[in-house]
Amino acid sequence: MQIITLPYGPLSSNMFIISYDGGCIIVDPSVDPDVVAAGFEGFERDRVRAVLITHAHFDHIYCAGKWQELLGDVPFIMSDTDRALLADPRSNCSSMTGRGEPYTMVTRDVDSLPELFGDDPYINIRAIPTPGHTSGSVTFEVTDKGSGETVLFSGDTVFMGSVGRTDFPTGNLSEMMESIDIFKRYPVNTAIYPGHGPATNVGTEIKINPYF
């Protein structure tokens, strides 16, 4: 399993490409498909099996419409709890840019992940509800069945040394602290790939993150 980080979206949001023997998966489609195709040799859109969305803020779904048009029937997976945020520029935070934008892409709830990946011989994906930044924020737990490696894509729940803001619509500090407790249950060497900034791991956050 190879993880490519693309910090080119608005607000330097991280988009990730998970490449593995069975195909590839996009996490948080914030980067234009043309940028990906031009800058990353070997990327093949026909290998994309799913697009995962950690939460419904504009900077993480900035190019979702372009990706959906390009990928056709490839499923876009996001918690139904966050769907109401898509159409409201204030709730999806695009109003902060001075040009609020509703988002209309079609998504499937995270409950569909077992149907999509339950029989995959190479990889397992679970959506862990981690509300706090938004009520529908999820962390995607991805496990390579060959090596046993598990990594976490935390969206804006956990950053290196910090956590996401809780003062946006549907944010909640108490829920955020409960979500942080979930991360502390993982082995200390478990990698965390956040929605902004560098990758980290559980052990590092226990040592340096005041919210842990």
pLDDT tens string 157-177: 999 999 999 999 999 999 999
d(C-alpha 62, C-alpha 177), whole Å: 27
Q: Which of 9, 59, 7 is nearest to 32 (CA)?
A: 9
Q: Are the beta carbons of 135 and 33 closer than 8 angstroms?
A: no
pLDDT in tens, 5-52: 998 777 889 999 999 999 999 999 999 998 887 767 667 889 999 999
**What are the angstrom distances between the C-alpha of 192 and each of 77, 87, 154?**
20, 29, 7
- Tally the domains of the chain: 1
Which pLDDT score, from 0 to 100, does residue 39 have?
Answer: 67
CB 175 within 8 Å of CB 211? no
Q: What is the pLDDT of residue 53?
A: 98
What DSSP state is assigned to residue 14? -
Q: How many helices (H) and strands (E) does the chain have?
A: 6, 12
Place of tokens 């003062």: 167
The pLDDT value recorded for residue 202 is 98
The residue among 203, 61, 204, 33 whose CA lies nearest residue 136 is 61
What CATH number is given to the structural domain containing 167?
Answer: 3.60.15.10
Per-residue model confidence (pLDDT) at position 185: 97
pLDDT class for 81, splitting at 50, 70, 90? very high
Residue closest to 29 by CA, chosen among 38, 41, 16 = 16
- What's the pLDDT at 100? 84
Task: Please give the pLDDT value at position 11.
Answer: 81
Report angle CA 53, 56, 57 to the nearest 5 degrees.
115
What distances in angstroms separate CA 23 from CA 19, 123, 136, 171, one per listed residue? 6, 10, 27, 34
> If you write DSSP's letter for every residue of 114-147 in order, what string do you get?
HHHHTT-SSEEEEEEE--SSSTT-EEEEEEETTT
Q: Residue 76 sits in which domain range?
A: 2-208
Q: Which pTM does this prediction carry?
A: 0.96
Contacts of 23 (CB under 8 A, 6+ apart): 47, 48, 49
Query: What is the H or E stretch that residue 15 is in?
Result: strand 15-20
